[in-house]
Every structure is written in C-alpha cells, then in structure tokens.
C-alpha cells in the first residue's frame, strides 16, 4: 500500500507515515511503493513548511530528519548493489548517475557476455 498524505493528518504525521513507507519499500525492493512514498514525503514536507511547525516540535523534526537520513543511506546501499550487479552483467557503466526524478543520466550500453 502506498502512503498518501490526507487533509486530516498533521503534516508531521503524514511525513512520518511517508518515511516509514519509504523504508518498507526500500527493504522490500518495492519500486512502486518507493515512488509513491517519495511523492507523499515531498507533499508532506511542503505542507510542514507551509504550516510553520512550532519550536515545540523540534525534537520530532530532528527524529524525522534522522529517519530520512537512514532511508537515504539505505537507498544509497541499494543503488550500489544495483550498480554492482549491472556492471558485472556488462549492462551499464559504473559511473551512471540519476537525476532528482530517478531518471538515468547515462544510456545503457549492451556488452557481449561471452564469446561465441
């Protein structure tokens, strides 16, 4: 199930839900859920910024920031795993980069895996 921000949730509740869904998607290799949770996270962040969360919420904001950083580390690990696999299959250069929307900055180049 993809996380969605709803009008009845506090922006920080929506952000927390999206971050937990993002983590679950990363751990389960669920690309569709990852894309949905990332979108929900961005919406929740915009809502939190617009609502001007008070100083009394600082500890919670810090905890959510740490959760986001942990998710970022997990995402980086997944990306390294995928790049390693693709490189060893000869499918993509090792220095492929992705833009903010997740699109590859390099075109895949097929290589012969064996000599016939």
Reported as a single tens digit per residue, the pLDDT across 25-59 is 999 999 999 999 999 999 999 998 898 888 899 99
Please tell me the predicted confidence (pLDDT) of residue 52: 82
Number of domains in the chain: 1
| Residue 97, pLDDT score | 63
User: What pTM value is reported for the model?
Assistant: 0.68
What pLDDT shows up at residue 4?
Answer: 46
| pLDDT above 80 (res 104) | no
Average of per-residue pLDDT across 84-96: 73
pLDDT at 5 over 50: no
3-state SS string over the chain? CCCCCCCCCCHHHHHHHHHHHHHHHHHCCCHHHHHHHHHHHHHHHHHHHHHCCCHHHHHHHHHHHHHHHHHHHHHHHHHHHHHHHHHHHCCCCCCCCECCCCCECCCCCCCCCCCC
């Amino acid at each position: 199930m993809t996380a969605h921000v709803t009008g009845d949730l506090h922006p920080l509740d929506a952000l927390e839900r999206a971050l937990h869904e993002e983590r679950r998607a990363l751990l389960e290799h669920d690309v569709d859920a990852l894309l949905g949770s990332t979108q929900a996270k961005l919406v929740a962040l915009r809502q939190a910024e617009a609502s001007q969360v008070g100083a009394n919420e600082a500890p919670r904001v810090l905890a959510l920031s740490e959760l986001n950083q942990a998710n970022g580390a997990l995402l980086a690990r997944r990306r390294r795993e995928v790049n390693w696999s693709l490189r060893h299959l000869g499918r993509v250069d090792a220095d492929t980069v992705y833009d903010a929307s997740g699109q590859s900055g390099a075109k895949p180049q097929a290589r012969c895996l064996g000599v016939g």
